[in-house]
A and B are shown apart, each in its own frame.
Chain A
Amino acid sequence: QVQLVQSGAEVKKPGASVKVSCKASGYTFTNYYMHWVRQAPGQGLEWMGIINPSAGSTTYAQRFQGRITVTRDTSTRKVYMELSSLSSEDTAVYYCASGIARSRFDYWGQGTLVTVSS
């Protein structure tokens, strides 16, 4: 069955960077787009960006441009999301989600809590 397994919770100081990983299994890795979505405590979902694992091409939400980098390693079937210049407003659960089409999220990871605190 399809599984997206994310790395564990992180605690970071303001100004630092965080890198979250997402390992995919149960499907052809390069056939599904991979998105990153975050959810601040008690808030809604926010789309951050997408990678085409086949081509490695990315598209990011405007508000994260310059601060987010999404990469993939096809040999390990992992996708990474790195977010820099963290502030307390980046405290959230970060999800990876894969979709057969770039416009939807068929499968979700379990989420990774990133806490930014001094």
Chain B
Amino acid sequence: QSALTQPPSVSGSPGQSVTISCTGTSSDVGSYNRVSWYQQSPGTAPKLMIYEVSNRPSGVPDRFSGSKSGNTASLTISGLQAEDEADYYCSSYRSSSTLVFGGGTKLTVL
């Protein structure tokens, strides 16, 4: 069971926008609108940022947005801030009633 594919790293300057991709298959990302995104800072537990492709939990800034096209989901962070520097993981529901994570993307704010 392969993980979803994310770029290992992305970077951007403060105020810019960055997009992190998450590529799966027709058995997960492509078939279900059940993609979530998590932010993890060093030494801490992950935090839910986006659920069901594009929904933000209460308290998550609207600078974070999600979308999906085919087998690829994306997380976009606009107006980049220093505090956004972290690791980001996507996850998706799978047809086997299981879940799968992406390999993670390290976001560096230059």
- Seen from chain A, the residues whose Cβ lies within 8 Å of a Cβ on chain B are 35, 37, 44-47, 50, 59-63, 95, 97, 101-106, 108-111
With most chain A CB atoms within 10 A of its CB, the pick from B38, B45, B96, B102 is B45
A103 to B51, CA, bound (A): 9
Interface residues of B in 85-110 (CB under 8 A from A): 89, 91-93, 96-104
B57: chain A residues at CB < 8 Å are: 106
Q: Chain A interface secondary structure, helix, strand, loop or mixed?
A: mixed
- The answer to whether residues A44 and B45 also contact, given A61-B1, A103-B93, A105-B36 and a CB cut-off of 8 A, is no
**Which of B40, B91, B98, B104 interacts with A62 by CB under 8 Å?**
B98
B92: chain A residues at CB < 8 Å are: 103
Q: How far is the CB of B69 from chain A (nearest CB, A)?
A: 19
**Which of B48, B52, B97, B102 interacts with A105 by CB under 8 Å?**
B48
Verify B45–A104 contact, CB threshold 8 A.
Answer: no
Q: Is B18 an interface residue (CB 8 A)?
A: no
Q: How far is the CB of B6 from chain A (nearest CB, A)?
A: 9
Considering the complex, give the chain A residue whose CB is closest to the CB of B51.
A104
Interface residues of B in 1-18 (CB under 8 A from A): 1, 3
Q: Is B34 an interface residue (CB 8 A)?
A: yes
B47: chain A residues at CB < 8 Å are: 108
